[in-house]
Amino acid sequence: MFLGSVIYDKRRSLNLTQGNLAKGICNQNTISKMEKHSMTPQIEVLVQICQRLNLTLNDVFSDFSGDIEQEKVFVLDDIEESILLKDTFRIDDKLSLVENDISPKDRVQFNFVKGLLEFFRSDFEISTFNLDKVLQGTKLDNDDIYTLMSYLVKGMICLEQKHLDMVAYYCKTISDALQENLNIANANVIEVLFLCKSLGNMYTEINQPDFSIEVSKRAIEYANERHSSYFIDELNYNIALAFKYQSDQVEEYEKYKNIAYYSAISLNHPDFQKLIENDNVK
């Protein structure tokens, strides 16, 4: 029994109309199309429907083991992208869809997602616990994106705790792994760009601006080759900040600051746009 049939049967068993189920989540037509197997909803909608019907992802794909594994990977990728973009709306509800019976292969990604989420929540102890589980799973393989991303977040934690020697250690470890190129076998574009923009930011924070410029420019070139706009405003701003306090680089600072500013407008990032507006050369 596939998604639409499970939704239909469960809704009927609870004496809910399509309108009852849709209320506050989507429109009735969406429920109708789902039940007729003519559409699959956005993940945010699916999460809320499953909660209202007290269903899990295992329930809605119960007879299709291949499909459920595919759907779990899809949901997990969606969750990771949301967190990388700092969009944590209903993130715990989404995680609950995939947490149980996740495959060992995907457990590494799941633990990284949990580690990054707890970092953004400033729970550094739990974040580190999850990141250590990631590194156990990857066996410290520096050709694995989740090894490098775990080092990155550990470095970000050290930066928050003012352990600058450890920040420098993690920065160098990641940079050494990226020395040849940015094409990491199991990485997608957003992961590589998040890694580079965060690495560039850390280099600026520990007063190594040349490394910040290098990794940020490489990331921009990588993004352009793949026609991606993820973090383009932040990458350009990393470069601007690296030039900011160099008295002979005022023009470069202004150039990259302007690129970052107009990129933020284009990408509809008003908070970042305002941050740039308030930045002046001191």
Q: Mind giving me the DSSP string for the chain?
A: --HHHHHHHHHHHTT--HHHHHTTTS-HHHHHHHHTTS----HHHHHHHHHHHT--HHHHTTT-HHHHHHHHHHHHHHHHHHHHTT--TTHHHHHHHHSTT--HHHHHHHHHHHHHHHHHTT-HHHHHHHHHHHHHHHTT-TTSHHHHHHHHHHHHHHHHTT-HHHHHHHHHHHHHHTSS-S--TT--HHHHHHHHHHHHHHHHHTT-HHHHHHHHHHHHHHHHHTT--TTHHHHHHHHHHHHHT-GGGHHHHHHHHHHHHHHHHHTT-HHHHHHHHT----
What's the CA gap between 144 and 282, in Å, rounded?
40
pLDDT value of residue 65: 43
Task: List Cβ neighbours of 100 (8 Å cut-off, separation of 6 or more).
Answer: 56, 58
What's the CA gap between 19 and 3, in Å, rounded?
18
Q: Which residues of the chain have pLDDT under 70?
A: 1-2, 40, 57-58, 60-73, 101, 280-282
The boundaries of every CATH 1.10.260.40 domain in the chain are 1-97
Total count of residues recorded for the chain:
282
Q: What is the dotted CATH code of the domain comprising 1-97?
A: 1.10.260.40
pLDDT value of residue 180: 85
pLDDT value of residue 93: 80
Nearest CA-CA partner of 56 in 13, 22, 102: 102
pLDDT value of residue 2: 59
- The count of C-alpha atoms lying within 13 angstroms of the C-alpha of 247, restricted to the half-sphere facing its C-beta, is 0
Q: Residues 202-233: pLDDT tens digits?
A: 999 999 999 999 999 999 999 999 999 999 99
Q: Residues 38-75: pLDDT tens digits?
A: 776 777 788 888 888 988 766 766 544 444 555 566 77
pLDDT value of residue 63: 45
What's the CA gap between 38 and 34, in Å, rounded?
6
pLDDT value of residue 9: 87
pLDDT value of residue 71: 59
